[in-house]
């Protein structure tokens, strides 16, 4: 019984140190989880950076969408835009006009396999 009472006495005297150590370990574990955990600060920073990049992409796409909507509106209502597209894309011409078109560019001539040998 003497040994058990000595251990009991030691635990009673050391309870403050043991409690403090346990709290310090618990705080360290919680801090580690807050910083590096599944939803910690590191992941938060990555998500924040990704959010900023996606916001910029969204803004760019909205501007492009607005530009395309204006073009659609012009193609539906503006006669000059319609005429320009008809002339450029469909190669239409007014009566009495002559349309000259240049031949498509050919790729630069290279050495054929027969010439390499």
Determine the Cα–Cα distance for residues 19 and 79; give it in Å rounded to an integer.
85
Cα→Cα distances 42→38, 45, 56, Å: 9, 5, 22
Highest mean pLDDT among 55-59, 78-82, 93-97, 108-112: 55-59
pLDDT for residue 53 is more than 60? yes
For residues 96-105, average pLDDT = 81
Highest mean pLDDT among 7-16, 62-71, 76-85: 62-71
By residue count, the chain amounts to 117
């Amino acid at each position: 019984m003497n040994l058990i009472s000595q251990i009991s006495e030691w635990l009673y005297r050391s309870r403050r140190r043991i409690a403090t150590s346990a709290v310090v370990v618990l705080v360290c574990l919680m801090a580690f989880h807050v910083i590096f955990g599944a939803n910690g600060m590191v992941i938060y920073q990555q998500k924040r950076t990704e959010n900023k990049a996606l916001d910029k992409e969204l803004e760019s796409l909205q501007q492009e969408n607005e530009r395309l909507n204006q073009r659609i509106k012009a193609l539906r209502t503006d006669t000059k835009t319609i005429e320009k597209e008809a002339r450029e894309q469909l190669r239409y011409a007014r009566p009495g006009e002559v349309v000259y078109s240049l031949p498509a560019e050919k790729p630069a001539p290279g050495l054929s396999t027969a010439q390499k040998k």
